[in-house]
Amino acid sequence: MANIEKITPQEIQKSREILIKMRDYYYKKMVGQGHLGTALFATLMCNGHILLESVPGLAKTTAAKTVTEAVSGTFSRIQCTPDLLPSDIIGTQVLNYSTNSFETKLGPVYANFVLLDEINRSSAKTQSAMLEVMQEHQVTIGGTMYKMPDVFTVIATQNPVEQEGTYLLAEAQLDRFLLKEKLTYPNMNDEFEILNRIEQEVFNSQESVVQLSDVVFLQQLVKRVYMDDSIKKYIISIINATRYPKMFIAPELAEYVTMGASTRGAIALMEVSKAMAIMYSRNYVTPDDVKALMHSVLRHRITLNYAAVADNVSQETIINAILGAIQTP
């Protein structure tokens, strides 16, 4: 950490002003779903990707568009279907008859924010092509490499209810998402407010409150947040407990776990914790920052067996047990 420039109070103040503008615009259009907003902002600040799971109609697309509008970004929506091809996403070469030569046509993936609607409806081949872009931040068409924009976030959605005609994401592919967020139905008061805002045509207005350069500033700031060695060891202890749960939690819970989080999970937890520190206007990480989005970071990185499904034991139950077992620094 000695070579990393310390974050100044002025930079913290600037980050606070940027985040306030983004939050105000987000909650102008979004009712409830506060945890989703936090997860989206953390994903954006880490320049990562997020997987949203819910039944249809719970404003996943609206949330993605709202964040895009707020930061003056470009937005693409890809509706995934079984017949979707990799070239439909990343682009291809087409023959220009007037010049008798091939021209590259970049696909819809080339945007700041890409909404992959119902990603589990696309074939494994198409999923792999998209996940490669997410990891490498580049596409290769006709032997030429095209870099993704500096700000590049994929927001993928999947419907957990319907299984017919879907292709489950492999555990190794799920790991490429920084966060996985589960959305639930709004309460009655929130739904009442949604209807009022529909009448007022709040969702029809569009406004850019910050620029992409401000997002890049936040991303660079996150990298400079100080994390003490004790916090790093705390993160490692949590990740290690997901791999060897029998050493940390009750045996009746540990037997449900078949696979724990990888090193990528530890890196994700570190990056998200730093983003949370900036959201709380701090230049250092606390244990509470680590815990803030713990479920979102780990729920798709812990694999449970069929007995867990039968006994209605979730990843969140395992994570809570691990948190209770690991001593907080």
Q: What angle, rounded to 10 degrees, do the helices at 212-223 and 263-279 form? A: 110
The answer as to whether 127 is a domain residue is no
Tens-place pLDDT, residues 55-103: 877 888 888 888 888 998 898 989 888 888 888 888 888 878 888 888 8
The answer as to whether 98 is a domain residue is no
The whole-angstrom distance between residue 105's C-alpha and the CA centroid of its chain comes to 27
CA nearest 249: which of 317, 161, 147?
317
Tens-place pLDDT, residues 185-194: 888 998 898 8
Average pLDDT over residues 30-45: 89
Q: What per-residue string of b and e applies to 168-207 under the rule 16 or more CB within 10 Å gives b?
A: ebeeebbbbbbbbbbbeebeeeeeeebeeeeeeeebeeee
Residue 219 structure tokens: 């991303």
The answer as to whether 164 is a domain residue is no
The answer as to whether 173 is a domain residue is no
Average pLDDT over residues 293-306: 93
State the pLDDT confidence band at 164, using cuts at 50, 70 and 90. Answer: low
Which pLDDT belongs to residue 1? 46
- Structurally, the chain folds into a number of domains equal to 1
Neighbours of 154 (CB within 10 A): 27
DSSP E strands: which ranges in the chain? 50-53, 75-79, 91-96, 101-106, 113-117, 138-141, 144-147, 153-158, 179-182, 257-259, 303-304
Which pLDDT belongs to residue 290? 96
The better pLDDT of the pair 243, 197 is held by: 243
Residues 245, 251, 252, 258: what is their CA dihedral angle, to the nearest 10 degrees? 30
What whole-number distance in Å separates Cα of residue 89 and Cα of residue 26? 28
CATH number for the domain harbouring residue 230: 1.10.8.80
Handedness of CA 296, 301, 304, 309 (dihedral sign): positive
Average pLDDT over residues 155-184: 80
The answer as to whether 311 is a domain residue is yes
Question: The whole model's pTM is what?
Answer: 0.90
pLDDT higher than 70, residue 293: yes
What whole-number distance in Å separates Cα of residue 226 and Cα of residue 229? 10
Residue 302 structure tokens: 């812990």
SS3 177: coil
The answer as to whether 25 is a domain residue is no
The answer as to whether 305 is a domain residue is yes
Which pLDDT belongs to residue 162? 64
The answer as to whether 44 is a domain residue is no
Q: Are 179 and 297 in contact (CB under 8 A)?
A: yes
Average pLDDT over residues 211-216: 94
**Which range of residues forms the domain containing residue 267?**
226-329
Tens-place pLDDT, residues 244-280: 999 999 999 999 999 999 999 999 999 999 999 999 9
What whole-number distance in Å separates Cα of residue 251 and Cα of residue 111? 47
